[in-house]
Structure 1
Amino acid sequence: MNVDRLPPAWTPVCPLDDIVPNTGVCALVNGEQVAVFHVNNGDTDGAVYAIENYDPSSQAAVLSRGLIGSLGERLVVASPIYKHHFDLRTGECLEAPAYSVSAFATRVEDGQVWVAA
């Protein structure tokens, strides 16, 4: 079996209600810190995004504590240290693409947040 074609392993993180809308939390997924964000713009339950929690420019695990916002059409989190913006959908660092982080698939089922790793 080709390992590259295996479906992602889904890890339960927490109930969606445990994440205050428009903030993030840090979760340990397969031994790696993942920043999980609950973004709610007034529509139903909103959306959930996950990126690496480690900010390469500051060398600190702080992205889950950043501020959520938008730059143009891009939904971003601003790192709390150097204020670099990371796209919540792709993990791209807008100011310094070399500092981009991984993004993870998410889903919400029966009120539970899941992250694929």
Structure 2
Amino acid sequence: MQAVEAVQAMTWQAVCERSDLIANSGVVVWLDGDQIALFYLPEAGEGRVLHAIDNHDPRSGANVLGRGIVGYLQGELVVAAPLYKQHYCFSDGRCLEAPDQHVRVWPVRLNGDRVEIGRL
């Protein structure tokens, strides 16, 4: 399936409002049993102001990534896990320090003032 067709086939679910987000920080939402960490980065400069990844940190086993610190490392926009400080890329979910660890990256968008998460 082509990328455009995949986006068109995606089902979007509203999870919160733009006013619920905190600039340059994370918040956590619950979607059908999944905890998703949303990051609102209006100054990231990559054309995307929203990023969504699993809240579950594979190294610690804790649901804490929404409390991580956002920054750039090795040219990648990442979040540092609060407990053991691994860095997870927003682009593809991989861990820079441990390639065998990764988190799911969720499609996310603003639709007016609603924040929506996508599912195929």
Per-residue CA deviations over 1:56-108 (Å, capped at 9, x if unaligned) read: 10010000000010113211000000000000121111111211011011110
Bigger fraction of residues in strand: 1
What is the TM-score of this pair, normalised by structure 1? 0.87
Moved over 2 A (4+): 5-9
Distance 1:13 1:89 in 2: 21
Once the 2 structures are TM-superposed, how far is the Cα of residue 42 of structure 1 from its aligned partner? 7.3
Q: Which runs of 5+ in 2 are unaligned?
A: 1-5
C-alpha contact 1:107 1:114 (8 A) present in aligned 2 = yes
The amino acid of 2:87's aligned partner reads H
What is the TM-score of this pair, normalised by structure 2? 0.84
Matched, 1:111 2:113: yes
SS of 2:109's equivalent in the other structure is: strand
Which residue is 1:25 aligned to? 27
Which residue is 1:97 aligned to? 99
* Aligned residues between the structures: 112
C-alpha contact 1:38 1:46 (8 A) present in aligned 2 = no
Distance 2:101 2:70 in 1: 18
Q: Which runs of 5+ in 1 are unaligned?
A: none
Which residue is 1:16 aligned to? 18
Distance 2:82 2:44 in 1: 25
C-alpha contact 1:69 1:77 (8 A) present in aligned 2 = yes
SS of 1:100's equivalent in the other structure is: coil
Using the aligned pairs only, state the percent identity. 37
The amino acid of 1:81's aligned partner reads L
- Across the aligned residues of Structure 1 and Structure 2, the Cα RMSD in angstroms comes to 2.0
